[in-house]
């Protein structure tokens, strides 16, 4: 027997359950999955930053430390560190030194050099490179002295020259020898090596020399050879 509902009559029996629309289920699932996906992405991002941030910070610190060495200005004042031993520290070096003084007759003399070295500050001996001395003689004339090396005794005012020693006199004389000693205080000089000279009168070769009487007289020692040119001499021949 089948029940029929007539218009206007109330329905009999249990009411059918209302079903959700078919299209609403995927949306609900998506809403449920979205928080889970966001949480997973956030966790991965945090893990990535924990790994990369310390590396980036370390790279920046290294770059800051290395950068000044990679880009140094060429005009910056630089101070280098060099090793100095005790022997070098005890040596006094001078560039283009100049020594001046007067002799017993109050006549000036000047001694210069390219370089000078003194073993100790309280030493009286000065080693000279390319020394040159200018000495004023008794009659007002001058003598210039040069050599390759020299030793100047400050307390005695004595100059020892060696290596291509040359002496020039303002009267036109020039002498060459290997070694010579000059007494700056008295104006005397001497040498025991071969000496060659020339001047207005001619030329001379000897085994040594002595400069005495404050430069007024020169003695030539040992075997000597003097060549006099009469055409260069002034006055009547003697």
- Measured distance CA(177)–CA(159) in Å, rounded: 15
Evaluate whether residue 42 is within a structural domain. no
DSSP 9: S
DSSP string, 63-86: HHHHHHHHS--TTS---------H
Distance CA 131, CA 166 (A): 11
Q: Is residue 81 part of a domain?
A: no
Q: Is 35 a member of any domain?
A: no
Residue 146: CB atoms within 10 Å: 15
Q: What angle do CA 114, 100, 112 make, to 5 degrees?
A: 10
Q: Could you tell me the residue range of the domain that residue 90 belongs to?
A: 86-232
Note whether residue 48 is domain-resident. Answer: no
With residue 98 as reference, give the H or E element that holds it.
Answer: strand 98-102
- pLDDT digits 0-9 by tens, 43-86: 776 777 777 777 777 777 777 776 766 655 555 545 455 554 55
pLDDT per residue as tens digits for the range 155-212: 888 999 998 999 988 888 899 999 999 888 777 889 999 999 998 888 999 999 998 7
Domain CATH code at residue 205: 2.60.450.10
d(CA 231, CA 228): 9
Count of domains observed in the chain: 1
| Residues paired with 227 in a beta bridge | 203
- Closest by CA to 96, choosing from 72, 131, 58, is 131
Q: Does 221 map to a domain?
A: yes
pTM: 0.57
Q: Is residue 1 part of a domain?
A: no
Indicate whether 80 belongs to any domain.
no
Give the span between the Cα atoms of 195 and 205, in whole angstroms.
Answer: 6
Does 60 fall in a domain?
Answer: no
């Amino acid at each position: 027997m089948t029940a029929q509902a007539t218009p206007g009559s109330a329905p009999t029996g249990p009411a059918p359950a209302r079903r959700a629309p078919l299209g609403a289920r995927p949306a609900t699932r998506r809403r449920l999955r979205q928080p889970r996906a966001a949480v997973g992405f956030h966790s991965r991002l945090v893990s990535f930053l924990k790994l990369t941030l310390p590396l980036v910070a370390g790279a920046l610190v290294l770059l800051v430390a290395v950068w000044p060495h990679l880009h140094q200005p060429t005009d910056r004042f630089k101070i280098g560190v060099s090793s100095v031993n005790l022997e070098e520290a005890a040596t006094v070096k001078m560039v283009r030194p100049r020594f001046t003084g007067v002799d017993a007759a109050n006549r000036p003399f000047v001694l210069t050099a390219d370089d000078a070295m003194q073993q100790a500050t309280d030493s009286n001996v000065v080693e000279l490179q390319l020394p040159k001395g200018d000495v004023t003689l008794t009659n007002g004339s001058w003598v210039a002295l040069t050599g390759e090396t020299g030793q100047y005794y400050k307390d005695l005012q004595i100059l020892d020259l060696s290596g291509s020693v040359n002496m020039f006199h303002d009267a036109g004389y020039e002498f060459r020898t290997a070694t010579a000693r000059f007494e700056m205080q008295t104006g005397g000089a001497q040498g025991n090596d071969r000496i060659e000279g020339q001047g207005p009168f001619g030329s001379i070769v000897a085994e040594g020399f002595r400069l005495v009487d404050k430069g007024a007289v020169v003695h030539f020692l040992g075997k000597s050879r003097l060549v006099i040119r009469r055409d260069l001499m002034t006055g009547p021949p003697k």
